């Protein structure tokens, strides 16, 4: 939940007056996203989401995020579309923060994805990768890919064993392997990099939208697939559900066939994706102020996933047939 910056209705009315959205009808802080403050706006023109970008977001990245959402919307991807003001500018300033109004997307996220949900997600992910292919005007490196993991580890190494005995050594070993073997030369492009179930909306069982592009960046496309295998295909008891993996991968490949090199790299990419979320959750977990009302995500969920990926002997364990390579 996230409303870090308080906006008065009076300030908002003045801000809205620079847009062609009519008068304000309702205005509520909403519990969505963890990095920024989000408000639901209802105006005479409809429903919108107002986002105020908080300190963890680098203002220099905002044009990339806004440009990406605009680009994807023109390519037919169902995602929030930035609204420009009367001067044609999307990014404004409100309550001392960079601020964006975007269209409101109908739909609800699923908590326990079914195999059908995973298939829909796989197809949408491939569609996103294809639609992003010609978004070349701006570039954003992935600060949370392999080069970014060791600095995170340094923040957590001394206290990691508080969370789980032996965790510090396990991460150090894993880091060495991944840094040495991380694939180069796989197809790259724009990735979402955080396409968890809460960022995907469904309406009547049909995937109706993707949100939260604030980890979007340029990186290996198959790494995005590996992130989704982690986020969508494990059961609450920690078991990988191969039926869901197969559904996700087959639907992805129907839209964008993976190369043999991408398929071969999947187990390693999946280890990397698990380590990335293990590390960021671990750092957050170790830095919660005592008594805080927001409980961070459990890092151990991703330790279990990492252990599964280390046990994988072939991409077939994810439900992919190597014969399906393009």
- Binding interface with a copy of itself (CB under 8 A): 1, 3, 8-10, 12, 23-32, 40, 42, 104-112, 203-204, 289-294
Rg (CA), the chain: 20
- In the complex with a copy of itself, the residue whose CB is nearer, 46 or 151, is 46
**Based on CB atoms, which residue is closest to a copy of itself, 25 or 181?**
25
Nearer to a copy of itself by Cβ, of 38 and 145: the residue is 38
Q: Which is nearer to a copy of itself, 3 or 177 (CB)?
A: 3
Write down the least CB distance from residue 26 to a copy of itself, Å.
Answer: 5
Closer by beta carbon to a copy of itself, 104 or else 308:
104
| Nearest-approach distance from CB 293 to a copy of itself, in angstroms | 5
Q: How far is the CB of 27 from a copy of itself (least distance, A)?
A: 5
Please say which residue, 61 or 301, places its beta carbon nearer to a copy of itself. Answer: 301
| Tokens read off for 312 | 């994988």
Q: Report, in Å, the least distance between residue 259 CB and a copy of itself.
A: 36
Task: Give 110 or 286: the residue with its C-beta nearer to a copy of itself.
Answer: 110
Identify which of residues 255 and 301 has a Cβ nearer to a copy of itself in the complex: 301
Instruction: Determine whether 39 is exposed, middle or buried from the number of CB atoms within 10 Å of its CB (0-12, 13-18, 19+).
Output: buried
Least distance from C-beta 9 to a copy of itself, angstroms?
Answer: 4
Strand partners, 28: 40
Q: How far is the CB of 290 from a copy of itself (least distance, A)?
A: 5
């Amino acid at each position: 939940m996230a409303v870090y910056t308080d906006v008065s209705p009076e300030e908002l009315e003045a801000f809205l007056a620079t847009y062609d959205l009519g008068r304000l009808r309702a205005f509520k802080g909403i519990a969505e996203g963890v990095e920024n403050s989000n408000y639901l706006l209802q105006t005479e023109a409809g429903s919108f989401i107002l986002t105020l970008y908080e300190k963890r977001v680098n203002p220099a990245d905002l044009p990339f995020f806004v440009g990406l959402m605009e680009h994807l919307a023109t390519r037919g991807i169902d995602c929030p579309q930035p609204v420009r003001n009367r001067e044609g500018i999307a990014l404004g300033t409100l309550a001392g923060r960079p601020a964006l109004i975007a269209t409101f997307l109908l739909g609800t996220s699923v908590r326990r994805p079914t195999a059908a949900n995973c298939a829909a997600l796989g197809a949408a992910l491939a569609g996103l990768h294809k639609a992003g292919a010609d978004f070349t005007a701006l570039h954003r490196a992935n600060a949370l890919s392999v080069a970014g993991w060791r600095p995170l580890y340094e923040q957590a190494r001394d206290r990691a064993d508080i969370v789980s005995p032996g965790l510090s050594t396990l991460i150090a070993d894993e880091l060495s392997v991944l840094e040495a073997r991380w694939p180069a030369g796989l197809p790259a492009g724009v990735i979402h990099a955080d396409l968890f179930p809460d960022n995907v909306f469904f309406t009547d069982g049909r995937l109706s939208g993707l949100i939260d592009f604030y980890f979007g960046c340029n990186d290996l496309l198959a790494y995005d697939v590996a992130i989704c295998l982690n986020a969508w295909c494990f059961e609450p008891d920690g078991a990988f559900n191969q039926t869901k993996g197969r559904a996700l991968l087959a639907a992805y490949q129907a839209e964008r066939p993976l190369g043999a090199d991408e398929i071969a790299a999947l187990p390693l990419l999946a280890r990397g994706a698990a380590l990335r979320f293990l590390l960021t959750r671990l750092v957050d977990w170790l830095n919660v102020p005592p008594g805080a009302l927001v409980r961070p995500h459990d890092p151990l969920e991703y330790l279990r996933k990492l252990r599964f990926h280390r046990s994988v002997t072939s991409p077939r364990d994810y439900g992919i047939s190597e014969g399906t390579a393009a």
